[in-house]
């Protein structure tokens, strides 16, 4: 869709991923139970522009990590299309051509204790993508590159001789970032990169990620459940609920004028550290099972504004203030926009 503007770096169209979690065939036959399908991602459209940070937020089980894994190709999609820089990723192409595309996207995982091989030295961990893509001319070049990468994440080249267990959680996440940067990617998928870390270390890692983005012009897809973190680092935010996108908006708009009732509810749960006495409004109910999602709008059983139409008809995303909202109440004008006092740009 070359509409004169710049092409998005990543485009997901009607992306779906279903998981079959049925019991074995024999059990099903004996007990007369149907197949059970988890609709982890149920048709989402996202465009991520070059150089921006697009964040996906939502509660556990909403499918945000599945989206991350779909984008980098760790899961094949059930339906829909993933385009990276105009290339349809599902098209079969030669090994070399695929590697050339793969090199340009990397992933940072949540748990820095599980995502580094404990038997490898840090040098080899960081060198692996360089070797795999044949980016280094010779051994000296490799050493130079790994040293530079470790310095970029505020470690020292001498740390390359150590093993992962000799590092703290924050330092390990730096190693993960160095490894992700090793193939000189343009696009990084970060799946909760700081949620296993302490707050003071979280700030270090987020600052580092923002520095690196400015320096190398990186594009981020950032997955998080922490709205305060998302507020600080994102250009645009997508809110997911039960495998669907309920709202996408530029960060300031989303936090200042949230539209979807679920977004409003999520914002209400941010702890109040300024001690203004604002009570966190506890929301009734829990996220329903994605095996058997509610009909219509998936949020309607918890939504204070739901009516009969919401329980029957699935809302379509509609344009709204530079983003989209999928909500009947907003579409019909039943739900007035409310201004939030916080979230002013400093």
Partner 1 sequence: MNAPAAPLLQVRNLRVEFPTRRGTLLAVDDVSFDIAPGEVLGVVGESGAGKSLTGNAIIGLLEPPGRIAAGQVLLEGERIDNLPYERMRRIRGAKIGAIFQDPLTSLNPLYTVGRQIVETIQTHLPLSAQAARERALDLLKQVGIPAAEQRIDHYPHQFSGGMRQRVVIALALCAGPRLIVADEPTTALDVSIQAQIIALLKRLCREHGTAVMLVTHDMGVIAETADRVAVMYAGRIAEIGPVRDVIKSAAHPYTRGLMGSIPSMGVRSARLVQIDGAMPRLTEIPRGCAFNARCTEAGERCFRERPELMAAGATRAACWRHDTGGVGAVRTKEAAHA
Residue 4 Cα to chain centre, angstroms: 28
The residue ranges that bind partner 1 (CB under 8 A) are 59-60, 168-171, 198-204, 206-207, 210, 225-229, 231-232, 251-252, 255, 265-266, 268-275, 279-284, 286-287, 342-346
Report the residue number, 179 or 264, with the smaller CB distance to partner 1: 264
Backbone angles phi, psi at 174, to 5 degrees: -65, -40
CB of 298 to partner 1, least distance (A): 15
CB of 262 to partner 1, least distance (A): 9
Per-residue CA distances from 315 to 131, 248, 290 (Å): 48, 14, 17
CB of 174 to partner 1, least distance (A): 11
Task: Supply the DSSP symbol for 301.
Answer: G
The distance between the two most distant Cα atoms of the chain, rounded to a whole number of Å, is: 68
Report the residue number, 92 or 200, with the smaller CB distance to partner 1: 200
Report the residue number, 95 or 215, with the smaller CB distance to partner 1: 215
Q: How far apart are CA 186 and CA 220, in angstroms?
A: 9
Report the residue number, 101 or 206, with the smaller CB distance to partner 1: 206
Report the residue number, 16 or 232, with the smaller CB distance to partner 1: 232
CB of 45 to partner 1, least distance (A): 25
Report the residue number, 104 or 225, with the smaller CB distance to partner 1: 225
CB of 197 to partner 1, least distance (A): 9
Report the residue number, 15 or 246, with the smaller CB distance to partner 1: 246
b/e code 227-261 from CB counts within 10 Å (16+ = b) = bebbbebbbbbbbbbbbbbbbbbbbbbbbbbbbbb
Closest CA to 335 of 297, 305, 294: 305
CB of 104 to partner 1, least distance (A): 26
How many other C-beta atoms are found inside a 10 Å radius of the C-beta of residue 86?
Answer: 11
For the chain, report the end-to-end CA distance as a whole number of angstroms: 36
CB of 146 to partner 1, least distance (A): 22
Contact predicate 58/74, CB 8 Å: no
Rounded to a whole number of angstroms, the CA Rg of the chain reads 22
């Amino acid at each position: 869709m070359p509409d004169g503007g710049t092409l998005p770096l990543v485009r997901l169209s009607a992306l779906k991923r279903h998981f079959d979690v049925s019991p074995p065939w024999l059990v099903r036959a004996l007990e007369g139970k149907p197949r059970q399908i988890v609709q982890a991602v149920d048709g989402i459209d996202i465009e991520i522009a070059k150089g921006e940070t697009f964040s996906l937020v939502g509660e556990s089980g909403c499918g945000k990590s599945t989206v991350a894994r779909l984008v980098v190709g760790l899961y094949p999609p059930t339906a829909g299309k993933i385009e990276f820089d105009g290339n349809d990723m599902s098209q079969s192409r030669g090994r070399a051509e695929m590697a050339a595309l793969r090199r340009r996207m990397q992933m940072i995982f949540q748990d820095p204790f599980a995502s580094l091989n404990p038997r490898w030295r840090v040098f080899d961990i960081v060198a692996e993508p360089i070797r795999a893509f044949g980016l280094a001319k010779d051994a000296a070049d490799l050493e130079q590159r790994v040293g530079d990468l470790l310095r970029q994440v505020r470690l020292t080249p001498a740390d390359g001789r150590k093993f992962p267990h000799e590092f703290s959680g924050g330092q390990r996440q730096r190693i993960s970032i160095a490894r992700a940067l090793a193939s000189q990617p343009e696009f990084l998928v970060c799946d909760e990169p700081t949620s296993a870390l302490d707050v003071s270390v979280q700030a270090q890692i987020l600052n580092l990620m923002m520095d690196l983005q400015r320096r190398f012009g990186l594009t981020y897809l950032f997955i998080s459940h922490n709205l305060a973190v998302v507020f600080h680092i994102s250009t645009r935010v997508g809110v997911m609920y039960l495998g669907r996108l309920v709202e996408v908006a530029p960060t300031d708009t989303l936090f200042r004028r949230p539209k979807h009732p679920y977004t409003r509810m999520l914002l209400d749960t941010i702890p109040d550290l300024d001690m203004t006495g604002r009570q966190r409004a506890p929301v009734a109910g829990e996220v329903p099972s994605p095996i058997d999602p509610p009909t219509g709008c998936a949020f309607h059983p918890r939504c204070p504004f739901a009516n009969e139409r919401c329980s029957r008809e699935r809302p379509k995303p509609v344009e709204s203030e530079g983003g989209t909202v999928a909500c009947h109440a907003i579409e019909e004008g039943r739900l007035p926009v409310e201004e939030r006092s916080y979230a002013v740009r400093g």
